[in-house]
Amino acid sequence: MASSHECRKVLFRYLQFRAKAGLKSPPYLFCTRNGLRLAYRNAHRDIKRVCSYAGVEGDHIHPHSFRHKFAVTYIRRGGDIYRLSRILGHASLSTTQLYLRSMGVEHLGENHSALTPLARF
């Protein structure tokens, strides 16, 4: 599994590649061909296409389903609720707690022994 550090290096190389090729970097990392903000419908269409190619079909295929699955998997694999809160972009920890409670996994993040301060993320 790739780490956050590895992901940053790949993104940095991508941006350097664009600069060397004389391409202006769009203001969004994931954007349309025109450099505009990627709309929900674009992401939904692309996710459905990739899932269909992989043989996964059904009404449960939505961008938010991936967000939910990521959050649950992150907590079940020992991730702490503080980092998850930052990753999901929640304004407060209580929002993340409500989010986890709605999925029935809030208890997994409460007893994590290596809680990391937000400043370290």
Query: For 43-77, what is each residue's pLDDT tens digit?
Result: 899 999 999 999 998 888 888 888 888 888 888 88
Task: Find the distance separating the first CA and the last CA of the chain, reported in whole Å.
Answer: 18
Q: How far is CA 17 from CA 12, 14, 121, in A?
A: 9, 5, 26
Query: What pLDDT digit, counting tens, does each position of 11-28 carry?
Result: 889 888 888 888 777 777
Tally DSSP H helices, then E strands, for the chain.
6, 0
Query: Alpha-carbon distance 32 to 94, whole Å?
Result: 34
pLDDT at position 89 over 70: yes
Structural domain boundaries of the chain?
Answer: 1-35
Which position has the token pair 């992901």? 7
